[in-house]
Amino acid sequence: MLIQACADTHFNMMHSEIENEEIVERYVRNQLAPEKRQAFEEHFFGCKECFEKLQTTEQFVAGVRDAADHGLLKDKSSTAFASGPGRGFMWAFAATTCTAVVLAATTGWMYLNQVHKLRGELNQTAAQLQAERRSYAELEQTTVAAEQAEANVPLVMLQASRAEEEPASVLLQPGAKRLVLWIEMGPSRYRDFRLEVFSPENHLVTSLDHLARGPYGALAASLPTSQLPTGDFRIKLTGQGPPPASLVGEYQLRIQRR
């Protein structure tokens, strides 16, 4: 059982509340009060079980929504499933929808898995690397249009992390003026994002609003290296639109200088 996944007393209490009150499902449907949403976010970033369950639930809902967007769901039950009230919505969906809806949900899952597989393959090819270079080069040209052109702009790719994982690391060469952050993301209902960078002392260093996904589903942001001294930084990504706003991921970044 999920309650047994963590030995810590605080986690036991949290898991009991998460199961009894269906916190994961209500979180995905944006039905949690702000204080419970914040408490759950603080919990699942330190708990592998809840982190994986949240990802599974979000992927399931994304698959159903995608099937609905492509006209595979003919009735309104899919919309009610993704956002309507009620306990145990995943099980209620299976019990109350017809065979066509179940087949459509399965198609959504297969489509989602195929997208992940293709993205992983593309990341291993030279074509993907060239596309990423073009993307962050265009971003660099936009954000530093008033500055002199810069060659060999450093790039670091970030993945959602938990406390026990090593941070992503980048070595800044002398003369480097900007650092490009490339953030791969899974399914999300948000189209508009805010990025915040915090120092080791938890002070806000800089922030960027109105980030949007590029053609490959990733976010790219360019930061001035003058704001990033040597050390470890915490990067917080928040979905802003459509509201309500919600934490999407946290990333760890270690800056080193030659």
User: 93 to each of 32, 78, 84, 131, how far by Cα in Å?
Assistant: 20, 8, 11, 40
Q: Would you state the structure tokens that stand for residue 33, as one six-digit string? A: 């009060």
Residue 209: pLDDT above 90?
yes
Q: H or E stretch including 41?
A: helix 34-44
Helices first, then strands: H and E counts in the chain: 8, 8
Query: DSSP label at 226?
Result: G
Residue-wise pLDDT tens digits, 33-50:
888 888 888 887 778 888
How far is 166 from 106, CA to CA, in rounded Å?
36
Residue-wise pLDDT tens digits, 49-81:
888 888 888 888 887 777 777 766 555 444 544
Residue-wise pLDDT tens digits, 95-142:
445 455 556 666 677 767 777 677 777 667 767 677 777 777 777 666
Q: Would you state the structure tokens that stand for residue 52, as one six-digit string? A: 């994986």
Q: Show the CA angle centred on residue 41, arms to residues 40 and 43, nearest 5°.
A: 60
Mean pLDDT of the chain: 76
Give 149 or 124, the one with higher predicted confidence.
124
Res 65: pLDDT: 77
Q: What is the mean pLDDT of residues 210-224?
A: 86
Res 238: pLDDT: 93
Strands (E), 37-137: none
Q: What's the pLDDT band for 190 if we cut at 50, 70, 90?
A: very high
Residue % of the chain over a pLDDT of 70: 71
β-strand 178-183 against 168-172: which pairing, if any? unpaired
User: Structure pTM?
Assistant: 0.41
End-to-end alpha carbon distance in the chain: 49
Taking CB atoms within 8 Å and a gap of at least 24, the contacts of 228-231 are 228/172, 228/179, 228/197, 228/255, 229/255, 230/255, 230/256, 230/257, 231/199, 231/200, 231/255
Q: What are the structural domains of the chain?
A: 2-122 (no CATH), 127-257 (2.60.40.10)
Residue-wise pLDDT tens digits, 1-20:
443 444 444 444 467 788 88
Residue 89: pLDDT above 60?
no
Does residue 154 have a cis peptide bond before it, meaning omega lies within 30 degrees of 0?
Answer: no
